[in-house]
Amino acid sequence: MSLNQLTIAELATRLASREISSREIMQSCLDQIARVDGKIHAFISYDAADALAQAETADRAIAAGAVHANRPLLGIPIAIKDVMAVQNQPLNCGSRVLGNFKSPYDATVIEKLKAAGAIVFGRCNMDEFAMGSSTENSAFGVTHNPWDTSRIPGGSSGGSAAAVAADETIASLGTDTGGSIRQPAALCGVVGLKPTYGRVSRYGLVAFASSLDQVGPFAKNVSDAAALLGVLSGHDPKDSTSVPHPVPNYANALDGNIRGLKLGLPKEYLVGGLDPEVKSAVDTAVKTFEKLGAQIVGISLPHTDYAVAVYYIIATAEASANLARFDGVRYGARVEGKDFWDLYSRTRGAGFGGEVKRRVILGTYVLSSGYHDAYYLRAQKVRTLIRRDFLNAFETVDAIVTPTSPTPAFKIGEKSGDPLQMYLSDIFTISCNLAGICGISVPCGFTQKPKLPIGLQLLGKPFGEETLLRLAHAYEQETSWHTHKPKLES
Ligand code: GLN
């Protein structure tokens, strides 16, 4: 296998023994990008010279005695969704509205990656302002699924997921507001983890829905995801919603022992519209967990039916407020007008795409006087009930298992004309964000024809990432789905 196909753990061992250099790893990723990204379009842009310079810095640090025990990502390329601030790099959020804006500072997660020695490179394509499930809503074009380029990679972090699946990077960061890490991870056949709300700092992440957004990793296996989560996690005085819980050593949870853990199977998740091949792969995965010693318990999450509706009220309400700042006055693209109202409306009219406009209008509506109580306030109350469903379930089970997405990757264009169909593709992932809990998606099989990845979702208690990683890792050790690679033609 070439270097770009290896995991963080494998590369760290070879770097430490000086068998390879970080420059060679980075070059191998850049070669793969040159070979396949014309078809995949996982990246909006990348700065090869800067990436190689960072790799050389890592090589010098290794030569001077720096070790992975202290800097776990030393010399490892990590690609970034275009919604996180990286100093002196473009920041567009998949939108035209930011023009040629460059970020003057690093997001906390970026600072942490850099401190851990990572090569932070590339701007991964995404649905505009993370609104979407297919990466078709980007001002920079569509990203294609590496397993079948006529299909979507999932979204909104489709570029980050596709880049890992196509071995264009070793790992990447995405964000998850309603499923945007887990769903594309499932559809691209990689591991994706959404941390508990408050586990990872949001400082320097451009906000979509502030009470739902979390940054998390995409990786080739569970242990790499654990390593990244360890780097990203922790309290940040710059984000008052980040929580001062100590960060565990997540690698310690990867001992393969899940005997006696209780896994909840919610009856509400066997919905119509669930693809039979997805259902059968998840059923088989559940049997594997049983075989490994976990106990399967039927549970109920009675307010599940309301999740999509509640999400599209709360997320759009928050988005309409958060996106007010893109007005062409202080930064980003500007379309001049006869007065400042005219300037605002021209700038926003030209700068935002259709889905973003739909959500700003919807969000403004649910917050408007007269409707605020009927929609926004009511949705907040139901959100509390949804969270309570999970907390009740977690009194009897250690984690919950579901499909990540009701279907495998669909065709480009198949749902883009029907927002409701698109919104329903997040039916299994959205509740996790509303409840503020953590979730992971791991590969659990493939459809027959065409061969498309299927993802298994595990949901955990608030700050229960160790249990999720323990379960996901034990499952991964027992199966080989994560080792399959798409056949990529250059
Ligand atoms: N697909 C969902 C949406 O369109 C979730 C997106 C996300 O998690 N950023 O809002």
Q: Quick one: pLDDT at residue 273?
A: 81
- Domain positions in the chain are 3-257
Order the strands of the 119-124 sheet from edge to edge.
43-45, 119-124, 77-81, 171-176, 214-219, 191-194, 438-446, 453-460, 399-403, 262-266, 295-299
Of 81, 112, 194, 415, the catalytic one is 81
Q: Distance, CA 429 to ligand 1 centroid (Å)? A: 9
Q: Quick one: pLDDT at residue 271?
A: 73
- Closest Cα to atom 5 of ligand 1: 178
Q: Quick one: pLDDT at residue 190?
A: 98
Q: Distance, CA 117 to ligand 1 centroid (Å)? A: 30
Q: Distance, CA 361 to ligand 1 centroid (Å)? A: 17
Scan for tokens 């070669």, then name that residue: 31
Q: Distance, CA 284 to ligand 1 centroid (Å)? A: 28
Q: What is the pTM for the complete model shown?
A: 0.98
Q: Quick one: pLDDT at residue 425?
A: 86
- Closest Cα to atom 10 of ligand 1: 131
* CATH no., domain 3-257: 3.90.1300.10
Of 180, 201, 242, 416, the catalytic one is 180
- Closest Cα to atom 4 of ligand 1: 132
Q: Distance, CA 349 to ligand 1 centroid (Å)? A: 22
Q: Give the residue ranges of the chain where pLDDT is below 50.
A: none
Name the residue of 133, 197, 213, 425 whose CB sits within 8 Å of the most ligand 1 atoms, as the mutation to test its pocket.
Answer: 133
Q: Quick one: pLDDT at residue 490?
A: 67
> Annotated catalytic, 180?
yes
Would you say the CB of residue 177 lies under 6 angstroms from ligand 1? yes
Q: Quick one: pLDDT at residue 174?
A: 98
Would you say the CB of residue 179 lies under 6 angstroms from ligand 1? yes
Q: Distance, CA 130 to ligand 1 centroid (Å)? A: 6
pLDDT in tens, 254-279: 999 999 999 999 998 877 789 999 99
> Which ligand 1 atom is at minimum distance from the Cα of 131?
4
Would you say the CB of residue 132 lies under 6 angstroms from ligand 1? yes
> Which ligand 1 atom is at minimum distance from the Cα of 425?
1
> Which ligand 1 atom is at minimum distance from the Cα of 212?
8
> Annotated catalytic, 416?
no
Would you say the CB of residue 315 lies under 6 angstroms from ligand 1? yes
Would you say the CB of residue 156 lies under 6 angstroms from ligand 1? yes
Mean of all residue pLDDT scores within the chain: 97
